[in-house]
Amino acid sequence: MKKAVLVTSLMLFSMFFGAGNLIFPPMLGQESGMAYLPAIIGFLSTGVLLPVVAIIAVVVSGNDVRDMASRAGKVFGLAFPILAYLSIGAFYALPRTGAVSYSTAVGADSILYSGIFNFVFFGVALALSWNPNGVANKLGKWLTPALLLLILLLVVLSLSMLTGTPAEPRGAYAEQAVGAGLFEGYMTMDSIAALAFGIVVISAFKYQKVKKVRTATVYAALIAGGLLAAVYLGLGAVGRVAGGNHADGTAILNHAAEQTMGGTGQWVFAVIVVLACLTTAIGLITATSEFFNSLLPGIRYHVWAVLFAVISFAVATLGLETVLSIAAPIITFIYPAAITLVVLTLLEPLLFRFHYTFLLGIWTSVVWAFFMSVPALIPFIEWAPLHSVQLGWVVPVALMSVLGMVADWNNRTRTPVEEKAAVNT
């Protein structure tokens, strides 16, 4: 079991650790400057803690994301999983892996070159995800260890050779460092991806004939989360010592690699990016294809895999800005409901069975997210606490969830002991 947990933990880490996970932390380290500590705490909260908790919520509930979501009604139970899988699949996260790989490894402003690169990239990802049962071995035993060693090399050399000093915090970090870090953690989309990856992890353990699947999945989530946190802290530290005023995280890491390893460093960084994106692409193709195959069993897994690879190839070829322009509205809309679903799923076993709690809490998050996504409606919700850091939905959702808990408490099902007492009286 220990070997299976280790291999699956590395697989899960590599599925989480993609383009945004690589480029956000060094940019956070540079822009937060002297406010790095509260900023990185915020980032780790939404970029590590929430994904780990989401994986645990899936396995503790014993259900997949469709069963979890259906607690808020049939409409939400169908619409949310589809939107979640599409957002981590062909709508955004999957094509982003190819677009970021191309912009880093090649960078030429050419549709032809981009098309050739992404054709090869998604062709390799499709081939490696063709057998979903073999994903754990391919990622956990080979690709992930290579990725971690290269990142470790870059971080160690940067911290020992670069001499930049942190400056005053800039932009959003100067106003609210924790909130800015929280939002950057949102942008990794790992909390949503975790709802999908949880089933992949469970399937991997079943394929490896692990008996205590729930326990093993919890351990795998914690180990993967620890690796993510360690890598984020290292990359954030690189941003603090890189010096200069770089446009984005890619430029920071490219500069650090060149300063510490010369011309070879640029190749090392390119390999890091491609490996990080490739491992995530394999995980996303596998997870989304398995989900839609379960939703529509008449269409085989391999058909879905080819379809998502082709769509992602087409979107990624159009360039990174096209991909990012699709991302913001989707993330803004889906994240409040995803986080609410995870939190309520974990709270329920500690209290009592929820019904109205799910309905009121989750649908409040959906309505609030809709207001956040429509510019003309934003003035109606600006009064909410934490609105300035994209968390205005938290207080209304919490209040409505408590109201739902009161209703559920009054209508809770009697326990066997209570039933027996009632009969005796």
Q: Is the pLDDT of residue 208 over 80?
A: no
The residue-averaged pLDDT of 27-54 equals 87
Q: Is residue 419 part of a domain?
A: yes
Q: What confidence tier does 425 reach under pLDDT thresholds 50, 70, 90? A: very low
Query: Is 151 within a domain?
Result: yes
What pLDDT is stored for residue 285 in this prediction? 87
In this structure, are 320 and 173 located in the same domain? yes
Task: Please report the pLDDT score of residue 143 as a whole number.
Answer: 77
CA torsion, ordered 55, 320, 305, 274, to nearest 10 deg: -80
Is 250 in the same domain as 381?
A: no
387 within a domain of the structure (yes/no): yes
Whole-prediction pTM: 0.79
Coil, strand or helix at 256: helix
Both 266 and 395 in one domain: the answer is: no
How far from 120 is each of 54, 117, 302, CA to CA, in Å?
Answer: 33, 5, 18
Query: What's the whole-number mean pLDDT along residues 254-262?
Result: 85
Higher-confidence residue of 20 and 73: namely: 73
- Among candidate residues 327, 360, 378, the one where a domain is terminated: 327
pLDDT of residue 414: 47
Residue 345 lies in a domain: no
For residue 137, what pLDDT is reported?
Answer: 62
pLDDT of residue 315: 82
What pLDDT does residue 327 have?
A: 60
Lowest mean pLDDT among 89-98, 137-146, 380-389: 137-146
Does residue 210 share a domain with residue 127? yes
69-95 in b/e form (b: 16+ CB < 10 A) is: bbbbeeebbeebbebbbbbbbbbbbbb
What's the chain's average pLDDT?
80
Report whether pLDDT(244) > 80: no
Among 1-10, 145-154, 304-313, the least confident range: 1-10
| CATH code: domain of residue 298 | 1.20.1740.10
Residues 82 and 32 in one domain: yes
Whether residues 395 and 323 share a domain: the answer is no
Least confident of 79-83, 222-226, 332-336: 332-336
* 337 in a structural domain: no
Per-residue pLDDT tens for 74-94? 888 888 888 888 877 777 778
Residue 417's pLDDT is what?
Answer: 43
For residues 263 and 309, which has the higher predicted lDDT (pLDDT)?
309
Q: Which residues contact 395 (CB under 8 A, 6 or more apart)?
A: 384, 385, 386
Kindly report, residue by residue over 310-333, the tens digit of the pLDDT: 988 888 887 656 666 666 677 667
Of residues 82 and 387, more confidence is placed in 82
Per-residue model confidence (pLDDT) at position 418: 47
Q: Which domain holds residue 28?
A: 2-327
Residue 368 has pLDDT above 90, yes or no: no
Are the beta carbons of 214 and 131 closer than 8 angstroms? no
> According to DSSP H, which parts of 62-108 are helical?
65-69, 74-88, 93-105
Quick one: pLDDT at residue 64?
Answer: 67
Q: Among candidates 67, 59, 66, 409, which has minimal Cα distance to 220? A: 59
- Residue 62 banded pLDDT, cuts 50, 70, 90: low
Share of the chain above pLDDT 90, in %: 7
Residue 253 pLDDT > 80: yes
Q: What is the mean pLDDT of residues 148-164?
A: 86
Q: What does the pLDDT read at residue 304?
A: 92
Residue 321's pLDDT is 66
Predicted confidence (pLDDT) per residue in 112-131, tens digit = 888 888 899 999 989 888 87
For residues 50 and 103, membership in a common domain is answered with: yes
Q: Is pLDDT of 419 > 70? A: no
Residue 401 lies in a domain: yes
pLDDT tier at 422 (50, 70, 90 boundaries)?
A: very low
The residue that leads in pLDDT, 420 or 104, is: 104
Percent of the chain predicted with pLDDT > 70: 88
13-28 exposure pattern, b = at least 16 Cβ within 10 A, e = fewer: bbbbbbbbbbbbbbbb
**Same domain membership, residue 418 and residue 293:** no
Are residues 161 and 126 located together in one domain of the fold? yes
- pLDDT mean over 144-156: 86
Q: Are residues 233 and 274 in the same domain?
A: yes
DSSP strand E in 273-340: where?
A: none
- Residue 339 within any structural domain of the chain: no
Rg (Cα) of the chain, in Å, rounded?
22
Distance CA 394, CA 258 (A): 43
Same domain, 201 and 299: yes
Average pLDDT over residues 147-165: 86
Distance CA 327, CA 91 (A): 8
Q: Which residue's structure tokens are 């109606």?
A: 380
Count of domains forming the chain: 2
Report whether pLDDT(237) > 70: yes
- 288 with 424, same domain? no
Q: Of 20, 47, 69, nearest to 342 (Cα)?
A: 69
Residue corresponding to tokens 């169908």:
78
Chain centroid to CA 105: how far? 23
The more confidently predicted of residues 169 and 20 is: 169
Q: Answer yes or no: is 170 within a domain.
A: yes
